[in-house]
């Protein structure tokens, strides 16, 4: 069972998606995302399996939450640097987003 200290090890930050494109090489349908986490963290890349609900045009400019301190993971020919957070619904993965516009890099707390 996870404990509170395990949760505190996660660095979960707000970022804005600045680019999204189809990830044709992925085994499961996914998008390649570029996410701006502000000047102290920078732009990071992620592979996200969110194609059931979101179109590329829905994503650019959207703020999301992501874990930024997992090690990079290679997915096909792409290195995913952060884990974008979402919930599993009957329709597909729904992104976790702040309900107000906040600064890129703000930490979940």
pLDDT of 66 = 98
- Collapsing DSSP to helix, strand or coil, 24 comes out as coil
pLDDT at 109: 84
Burial class for 1, CB neighbours closer than 10 Å (0-12, 13-18, 19+): exposed
What CATH architecture applies to the domain 11-95? Beta Barrel (2.40)
Q: Along the 109 residues of the chain, how does pLDDT read in single tens digits? A: 889 999 999 999 999 999 999 999 999 999 999 999 999 999 999 999 999 999 999 999 999 999 999 999 999 999 999 999 999 999 999 999 999 999 999 999 8
pLDDT at 84: 98
C-alpha separations of 91 from 33, 56, 63, 97 in Å: 21, 17, 21, 17
In the chain, what are the domain boundaries? 11-95
> What is the pLDDT at residue 16?
98
pTM equals: 0.95
């Amino acid at each position: 069972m996870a404990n509170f200290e395990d949760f505190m090890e996660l660095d979960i930050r707000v970022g804005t998606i600045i680019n999204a494109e189809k990830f044709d090489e992925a085994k499961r349908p996914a998008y390649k995302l570029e996410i701006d986490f502000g000047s102290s963290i920078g732009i990071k890349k992620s592979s996200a399996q969110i194609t059931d609900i979101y179109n590329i045009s829905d994503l650019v400019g959207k703020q999301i939450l992501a874990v930024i301190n997992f090690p990079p993971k290679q997915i096909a020919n792409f290195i995913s640097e952060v884990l974008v957070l979402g919930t599993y619904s009957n329709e597909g993965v729904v992104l976790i987003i702040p309900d107000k516009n906040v600064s890129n890099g703000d930490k979940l707390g």
